[in-house]
Amino acid sequence: MTFHVPTIDITPFVSGGTAEQRAAVAAAVDDACRTVGFMQIVGHGIPTPVTDGLAAAMDAFFALELESKKAWRTPPQINRGYSPPKSESLSLSLGVESANRMNDFFEAFNVGAAQSDYPGVELPADDYAENVWPDVADFEQRVAAYFSEAQRVAVTMTDIFEVALGLEPGFYAAHAAHSLDVLRMNNYALPPGRIELDGDLIGMGEHTDYGIVTVLWADQVKGLQVLGRDGSWNDVSPADDALLINLGDVTGRWTNDQWMSTLHRVKPPIVVVNGAGSIQRRRSAAFFHDGDIDAVISTMPWSVDAQHPNRYPEPITVGEHIRAKLAGSRAGTKNDAAGAEKERVLAARQ
């Protein structure tokens, strides 16, 4: 079967559409979620100046010297600030060892929903940490503008999910009143000049996303690869003005994996001459809409039957799930709670 990531126009859910138009969008999303777990969306309504501003802010920050960027590092349990190259390993978030434990060479900067965004709600300080903002001109303004737009798109996608799954309106809002939302800005590039390659250079190891839905802005440079049902890795690049959408583990648990939290990785193209490598730079910004930290996730009754036994019989909170995943990726602690997700990684490696 040919691997294909469909392009879906969500305009009927953004700027008004008929019931028939909205039903057609929901049906297309349902098919993509069941067969691929990825889709491209157009008609999302994010103005080009906002995405251009995000790209400019990322360029300005990542152009700083490494030691300057390290001033905005935070402890592993605080999912904010700067992550240098080779300080993380996404495969460990699924409980799978790599040859080198912390070997993902991307660098990143994270911002997210903070305690101050939800006044009157008592929330864990580590999970809803206040943001750190680098001293880069217009960085906070530009990133915050994109964060707001991406958050709107993520909520729009959950509106579509409600229609596609036949859920009561407000189902997702009830689980995301103080959603643990994070924007991760990624930069994939080797240091200036040439370096000796020490084995398989990994941009970002194979992993699934953690929450409900991910909204991804990315360059059209090759690098993102998505696992197909036949075990093949397939290159995926966004079309002009499109955003990539994929599902996370929370959605996989809710739907008993009938909607797919798909494995993906980043392996940017490397040019090797006499053992030394260079790489074409690639940028991306992933907005993770993860839900409330205290939301309890258990499989939806419709998703369990004789053909689909319950893969997740024990309910789990969003917070429990995400802390275990982050302890793997950021702190190097293998996530032994990853069951079905780990099986998929090992099967793909075989």
HSE value, Cβ hemisphere, 13 Å, CA-based, for 17: 17
Of 40-49, 172-181, 247-256, 278-287, the poorest mean pLDDT is in 278-287
pLDDT of residue 244: 97
For residue 258, being part of any structural domain is answered with: yes
**Separation of alpha carbons 328 and 345, rounded Å:** 14
Helix (H, G, I), strand (E, B) or coil at 79: coil
Using the predicted structure, report yes or no on whether residue 299 has a pLDDT greater than 60. yes
**Count of structural domains, the chain:** 1
| Phi-psi group of 144: left, alpha or beta (phi > 0 → left; psi -120 to 50 → alpha; rest → beta) | alpha
Using the predicted structure, report yes or no on whether residue 215 has a pLDDT greater than 60. yes
pTM over 0.75: yes
- Pick 200 or 125 by higher pLDDT: 125
What average pLDDT does the structure give for the chain? 86
Provide the domain limits for residue 87: 7-349
What does DSSP assign to residue 32?
Answer: H
For residue 21, being part of any structural domain is answered with: yes
Reported as a single tens digit per residue, the pLDDT across 139-171 is 999 999 999 999 999 999 999 999 999 999 999
pLDDT of residue 108: 93
Using the predicted structure, report yes or no on whether residue 331 has a pLDDT greater than 60. no
Reported as a single tens digit per residue, the pLDDT across 38-66 is 999 999 999 999 999 999 999 999 999 99
For residue 2, being part of any structural domain is answered with: no
Residue 49: give its domain's CATH number.
Answer: 2.60.120.330
Cβ distance 318 to 211 under 8 Å? Answer: yes
Using the predicted structure, report yes or no on whether residue 119 has a pLDDT greater than 50. yes
Mean pLDDT, residues 178-201 taken together: 73
Using the predicted structure, report yes or no on whether residue 188 has a pLDDT greater than 90. no
pLDDT of residue 99: 42
For residue 1, being part of any structural domain is answered with: no
Do β-strands 38-42 and 204-207 pair in parallel, antiparallel, or remain unpaired? unpaired
